[in-house]
Amino acid sequence: MKIKLSLVPYIIWMLIFVIIPVILIIYFSFTDINKSLSFDNILEAGKYSQVFLRSIIIGAISTVLCLIIGYPAAYLISKVKLKYQNFLIMLLMIPMWTSFLLRTYAWMTLLEYNGLINKLLVFLGLPRLNMINTPGAIILGMVYNFLPYMILPIYNILVKIDKKIIEAAQDLGANKFKVFTKIIFPLSLPGIISGITMVFVPSVSTFVISKMLGGGSILVIGDLIEMQFLGNNYNPYLGSCISLILMIIIMICMKIMNSLDTQSNYTEKRTKK
Amino acid sequence: MKSSIIKLENIKVSFNNEVILENLNLNIKEGEFVTLLGPSGCGKTTTLRIIAGFLNPDEGNIFFKDKKINNVPAHKREVNTIFQKYALFPHLNVYENVAFGMRIQKKPESEIKAKVTEILKMVNLVSYIDRDVNSLSGGQQQRIAIARALANNPKVLLLDEPLGALDLKLRKDMQSELKSIHQKTGITFVLVTHDQEEALSMSDTVVVMDKGSIQQIGSPEDIYNEPKNAFVADFIGESNVISGIMIDDFKVSFCGKEFSCLDKGFEKMSIVDVVIRPEDIKVVTPEQGDISGVITSVVFKGVHNEIIIDVNGFKWMIQTTEMQKENDKIGLLIYPDAIHIMKPSPYSSKIGDYSAFSDEFYNEQHKN
């Protein structure tokens, strides 16, 4: 197979910034502090299985919440008139123009013990709530930050569904509910799957949100990896190993997701035409 | 006398202040093969969508077997549609596509299987039962769309330019296939097309439409032989439409000459439109002809030659098997039975001349 000349810069880029780092991660994973081959890192990482589990659960809950909130939103946006669609999509995008860090800080000031929400509660004569530094706060932060990544791919698929197909289903006797369950939902599966991927992957691996809204009391994989590189117990070998395990877990999850997507390949073929 | 199955009464539809359908009345009888024929933008597809229930008219009533169904939603109507671009469900295979309607009705699996097999046999696609619909050719997809609609046992089958996307050969095959399905099942067919040949060869009744109104309803023979106005005459086949004066019963004058004809009952000395089909004109020498003119173009069409003749600035079309040369002067002989007289209409003098002007008019109409 011939490689096109225009591909060369990308290939070089991928080589330097993707392939080589991955090889380095793999190399470090199986190396100990004395630079000799060892499997100690894997055993060491195994001790953190609680953290892995917690990260995956928090990531999964955030992803499911994003889907539950995002699908109806995407569906409603795809139903309104085209000019309003563009407007609503823009509203969705505007928060993404400000820094991710700033937005998370904003949530801190809202959720704090002396934050805005609690001040409002006190003003109304209600007891204060303990919101910050809880798993709930982390999930809230994730859902807030990653929701657009769920809505956009689903919306993109929904607007591409041919109106005639929906009419054909109505014509054959399907009411609104049946049209949705038998036609719209199955046809939007590819969007759901890319949405889930786009939300689940960053949710599992992020550390900023858990640090800021979890107050460091709830350790997730992202924090754990960061600690190996920037903390007192500097150990890039263990850090690499944990990263590698995380990558493998995510790859397995995506493989499972894609295997659920057997039918929706048809739609992709269609929309490409 | 067969009873009415679908009746449209004073239907009016407008969209963004533009009138799409105006005062439309149509009565479709049970078991009939009706074709709505007209150029694009004439309102024929809108009419079909009203029957299907995808569109509510601004005014007027729709009856199904004498029951008003204005407020019955599409999924509860006993009509099924075959869409222009098939609209098959891309995530379902052939079997599931055809079974879709029955699954909604929660029919038992054994019944569904028997029906799907039976219907796929009817459209000669039974060996494709497990195929992915996206792997089928256009003609096959079309037949699946027909099967899917028929599987629902519709009382009326609506066909929205179903053959528009097929090539000529396949089109002809599908025309006869549809016709035979109509005869086998006895279901009422309502076909929408802009192809006059398709309309004439398939239907029991043709409804010619233009600009949101029905121009004429009749059997294919009536529509062809007795067009009501210049639009119908021009749209159904080729026609020379000339302005003339009805002198008396059986006597009409045009091109500065008096002709005898078979029409009567028009007001004496009134202005009329005269239709003469190109194949009904006999080519003779200038001396023998009723009128004469100069040939401006000859186009070989296979079965015949299509000749355009300039008669005092008005361009006539003639179809003849005789060989003719450009710039020759010839005579035209018109027998009484070749002449058909119509009342003048808004289309008078706009249609019928085969000069550049009428081509412009034609193109303009088809742009919209």
Structural domain spans, chain A:
49-272
Longest distance between any two alpha carbons in chain B, whole Å: 79
Residue pLDDT, tens place only, B203-261? 999 999 999 999 999 999 999 988 988 889 888 888 888 888 998 889 898 888 889 88
Residue from the list A164, A172, A270 with its beta carbon closest to the beta carbon of B100: A172
**Angle formed at CA A264 by CA A261 and CA A269, multiple of 5 degrees:** 130
How many C-beta atoms lie closer than 10 Å to residue B79's C-beta? 24
Query: Which chain B residues are Cβ-neighbours of A164 within 8 angstroms?
Result: 83-85, 87
- With an 8 Å Cβ cutoff, are A171 and B74 in contact? yes
Subunit contact B101:A172, Cβ cutoff 8 A = yes
Average pLDDT of the residues of chain B: 88
What residue in B sits closest to A178 (Cα-Cα)?
B104
CB pairs under 8 A between A and B: 76
B2 touches chain A (CB under 8 A): no
Closest chain A C-alpha to B50 CA, distance in angstroms = 12
The tokens of B274 are what? 């005269």
CA–CA distance from B224 to each of A137, A167, A187, B228 (Å)? 77, 35, 47, 10
Which residues of chain B neighbour A182 with C-beta distances below 8 Å? Answer: 100, 103-104
Q: Say how far apart CA B274 and CA B248 lie, in whole Å.
A: 14
pLDDT class for B348, splitting at 50, 70, 90? confident
Backbone angles phi, psi at A2, to 5 degrees: -85, 140
What confidence score (pLDDT) does residue A270 get?
43
pLDDT surpasses 90 at B51: yes
Among partner residues A165, A170, A269, which is closest to B75 by beta-carbon distance?
A170
pLDDT for position B347: 81
Distances, alpha carbon A190 to alpha carbons A55, A183, A260, B33, in Å: 25, 13, 10, 42
According to the model, what pLDDT value does residue B170 have? Answer: 84
What mean pLDDT, rounded, does chain A reach? 88
What are the tens digits of pLDDT across the range B98-126?
999 999 999 999 999 999 999 999 888 99
Of A162, A172, A270, Cβ closest to residue B104: A172
Q: Which site among B54, B75, B83, B158 would you substitute to test the A interface, given the most A Cβ atoms closer than 10 Å to its Cβ?
A: B75
Predicted confidence (pLDDT) at residue A186 exceeds the cutoff of 60? yes
Residues of A in contact with B160 (CB under 8 A): none
User: Which residues of chain A neighbour B132 with C-beta distances below 8 Å?
Assistant: 266
- Does residue B146 register a pLDDT over 50? yes
At residue A158 the predicted structure's pLDDT band, cuts being 50, 70 and 90, is: very high
The torsion angle over the Cα atoms of residues A258, A264, A266 and A270, rounded to 10 degrees, is: -110
**Chain B residue closest in CA terms to A188:** B91
Q: Do B134 and A178 touch (CB under 8 A)?
A: no
Give B217 to chain A, closest Cα distance, Å. Answer: 27
Which residues are registered as beta bridge partners of B340? B275
H/E stretch holding B177 reads helix B168-185
pLDDT of residue B107: 93
Which token pair is B17?
Answer: 């202040």
Terminal-residue alpha carbon distance, chain B: 40
CA distance A253 to chain B (A): 24
Given a contact cutoff of 8 angstroms between Cβ atoms, the answer to whether A128 and A122 are in contact is yes
B267: DSSP letter: P
Environment class of B343 (CB within 10 Å of its CB; exposed 0-12, middle 13-18, buried 19+):
middle
Confidence band for B363, pLDDT divided at 50, 70 and 90: low
CB pair distance less than 8 Å for B104 and A178 = yes
Between B350 and B41, whose confidence is greater?
B41
Among residues B6, B16, B106, B89, which one has the least CA distance to residue B53?
Answer: B6
For testing contact with chain A, the best of B46, B49, B88, B100 (most A CBs within 10 A): B100
- Tens of pLDDT, residue by residue over A238-260, are 999 999 999 999 899 888 888 87
pLDDT number for residue B120: 93
* Contact yes or no for A165 and B90 at CB 8 A: yes
CA atoms B171, B177, B179, B185: torsion sign: negative
- CATH no. of B239-367: 2.40.50.140
Phi, psi at B346, each rounded to 5°: -60, -15
The angle that helices A100-111 and A135-160 make with each other, rounded to 10 degrees, is 130
Arithmetic mean of pLDDT, A165-189: 94
pLDDT value at residue B235: 87
Please answer whether residues A257 and A241 qualify as being in contact, where contact means their C-beta atoms are separated by less than 8 angstroms: no
pLDDT at B64 over 50: yes
B81 chain-A contacts, CB cut-off 8 A: 167-168, 171
- Between A220 and B368, name the one with better pLDDT: A220
Q: How many residues does chain A have?
A: 273
With beta carbons under 8 A apart, name residues in chain A contacting B84. 164
Rounded to a whole number, what is the distance in Å from the CA of B96 to chain A's nearest CA?
Answer: 11
DSSP chain A: -PPPGGGHHHHHHHIIIIIHHHHHHHHHHTB-TTSSB-SHHHHHHHTTHHHHHHHHHHHHHHHHHHHHHHHHHHHHHHHS-HHHHHHHHHHHHHHHHS-HHHHHHHHHHHHSTTSHHHHHHHHTTPPP---TTSHHHHHHHHHHHHHHHHHHHHHHHHHHS-HHHHHHHHHTT--HHHHIIIIIHHHTHHHHHHHHHHHHHHHHH--HHHHHHHTTSS--HHHHHHHHHHSSS--HHHHHHHHHHHHHHHHHHHHHHHHTTTTTHHHHHHHH-
Query: Do B87 and A270 lie within an 8 Å CB cutoff?
Result: no
Does B83 lie at the interface with A, CB-CB under 8 angstroms? yes
Residue in B289, B272, B269 with CA at minimum distance from that of residue B335: B289
Mean pLDDT for the stretch of residues B158-177: 87
Binary contact (A168, B87; C-beta < 8 A): yes
Query: Given CB atoms, is B152 within the 8 Å cutoff of chain A?
Result: yes
- Selected residue with higher pLDDT from B237 and A169: A169
Report ipTM (2 d.p.).
0.79
Domain ranges in chain B are: 4-223, 239-367
Which residues are B9's β-sheet partners? B61
Q: From the list A172, A182, A267, which residue is nearest B90 (CB)?
A: A267
- Indicate whether B358 pLDDT > 50: no
Long-range contacts of B223-226 (CB under 8 A, 24+ apart): B224/B200, B225/B340, B226/B340
Option in A171, A178, A183 nearest B81 (CB): A171
B4-223 belongs to which homologous superfamily? P-loop containing nucleotide triphosphate hydrolases (3.40.50.300)
- The residue in chain A having the minimum alpha-carbon distance to the alpha carbon of residue B134 is A266
What's the whole-number mean pLDDT along residues B15-30? 91
Residue B362 clears pLDDT 60, i.e. is over it:
no
Residue A266 has pLDDT above 70, yes or no: no
Q: Which residues of B touch A169 (CB under 8 A)?
A: 89, 100
A117-143 average pLDDT score: 90
The gap between the terminal CA atoms of chain A, to the nearest Å, is 26
CATH of domain A49-272: 1.10.3720.10
Beta-strand relationship, B33-37 and B205-210: parallel
Cα separation, B233 vs B210, whole angstroms: 13
B286 band by pLDDT with thresholds 50, 70 and 90: confident
